[in-house]
Amino acid sequence: MDDNKYMFDPENLKFEGQDQSFKKRFFRMFFGLLMSGILIAFILLLVSSYVIVSPSTRKKIRENEKLKQELRVLTKRFLQTEKVLEDIKKRDENIYKVIMETDPYTNEDVDDEDNLTKKLSNVHDVDDMEIAGLINHQLDSLFNYIAKDEKAFNNFAKVVETKEKMLASIPSIQPVKNDDLEVIVYGFGKRIDPFYRTPAFHSGMDYSVTEGTKVYATADGKIQYAGNKRGEGKMITINHGYGFITKYSHLSKVLVARGKKVKRGDVIGLSGNTGKSMSPHLHYEVLLNDEAVNPVNFYFADLDANQYNTMIKRSSRGGLSLD
C-alpha cells in the first residue's frame, strides 16, 4: 500500500507526491495515542466511581450493616414483647370476666396488626425504609393502644373501687371479741322465748358476754339509729349500703351518734342488759334487703374453716334465747 500523500499543483495542473518526514509521523502517532489514553482514563474513572469503593464509603456501609443488624434484634424483641402483651391481655380478660363480672375491654384500633407482625417477622425480605415505616406505624398503633387502655384502666379502677366499697360494706366479723370461741352463743332460728316459754323465731344471734364488753361495727357504714327502743333497750343500727343493715341491742352504753360514719372494727357501744333481756348479752342481727339472715354466714373474715364449723354447731343448738 502506498503511504505517500499527494497534493494538487495548480500551476502544473497535476497531483504531485509529498514525502512525510519521520517527525510528522511520530507526532501524529503520539497525538493519537494521547487521545486514546485520555479516553481510556476517562472511561476507567467513570467505571471506578461505580465499582471501586472509597474508605469513607466502606465505613458508611459497615455502619449501615450494623444498624440493620441492630434493627433485626430490636424487631425480634418487639415481636417477643407482642407475645407477652397477648398473654397479659388474656389474663386481663379473665380478671374482668371472673372477678369483675363484666365483659373485657377490647381495643379495635390496631386494624392491620397481623399484617404488620407478619412483615416484621420477615425482616430480611423487607427494604430498610419499609422496615422503618412499618415500625413507626406499629409504634403509633401501640401508643394509641396505650391511650385507649389508660381510659379502660380508669374505668376498671372505678369498678375495683366499687367492689372494694361493697366488700367493706359486707358484715364479715363478729360484733364482740370471740377469737377463741369461748363466748356462749344462742343462734338464729326457732327458739324458746325466755319470758313466755313459747316457740318463737329468733332473728339474730345472742352473745353471752359480761356487761361493758366492747361492741364492734362489723362493716363500714353510717349510723342509722342510736338510742332506746322498747324491748331492744339501748340499741344501734348501721346502714352499710348494698342492702345490708346490722342491729346491736340491749347495750349498756351507746358510743356513737346518728349519721356518724364508722369503719369495720370501730367500737360503737358497750354490751349490757337493757330492754327485754334475761341477762347481760349482745343481740346481733344482719338484715339484707330488710330481711333477717343468719349472721353466722357472714364471719368469713373472722374465722378459719375449723372455727367456722365450730361456730355453726354451737349456734344451731336449740333451746332458749336470751331476749
Residues 161 and 198 in one domain: no
pLDDT at 23: 62
Kindly state whether residue 178 falls inside one of the protein's structural domains.
no
pLDDT at 128: 58
Kindly state whether residue 201 falls inside one of the protein's structural domains.
yes
pLDDT at 274: 95
Residues 82 and 118 in one domain: yes
Closest CA to 222 of 255, 251, 252, 257: 257
Kindly state whether residue 158 falls inside one of the protein's structural domains.
yes
pLDDT at 110: 45
pLDDT (tens digit, 9 = 90+) per residue, 204-216? Answer: 999 999 999 999 9
Residues spanned by the domain of 142: 55-168
- Domain tally, the chain: 3
pLDDT (tens digit, 9 = 90+) per residue, 13-22? Answer: 665 655 556 5
Contact 230, 275 (CB under 8 A): yes
Residues 113 and 76 in one domain: yes
pTM: 0.55
Kindly state whether residue 282 falls inside one of the protein's structural domains.
yes
Residues 197 and 159 in one domain: no
Kindly state whether residue 175 falls inside one of the protein's structural domains.
no
pLDDT at 187: 84
- The angle at the Cα of 251, spanning 249 to 255, to the nearest 5 degrees, equals 110
Kindly state whether residue 176 falls inside one of the protein's structural domains.
no
Kindly state whether residue 179 falls inside one of the protein's structural domains.
no
Residues 79 and 132 in one domain: yes
* Residue 168 DSSP SS3: helix
Kindly state whether residue 308 falls inside one of the protein's structural domains.
yes
Contact 236, 256 (CB under 8 A): yes
Type of residue numbered 299 = Y
pLDDT at 233: 94
Domain with residue 236: its CATH number is 2.70.70.10
Show the low-confidence residues of the chain (pLDDT under 70).
1-27, 46-54, 78, 81-135, 138, 141-143, 145-161, 196, 317-320
Closest CA to 187 of 58, 67, 286, 61: 286
Task: Tell me the sheet residues that pair with 226.
Answer: 236
CA distance 219 to 235: 17
Residues 131 and 249 in one domain: no
Locus of grid cell 476507567? 44
Q: What size, in residues, is the chain? A: 323
Q: Which of 119, 138, 168 is the last residue of a domain?
A: 168
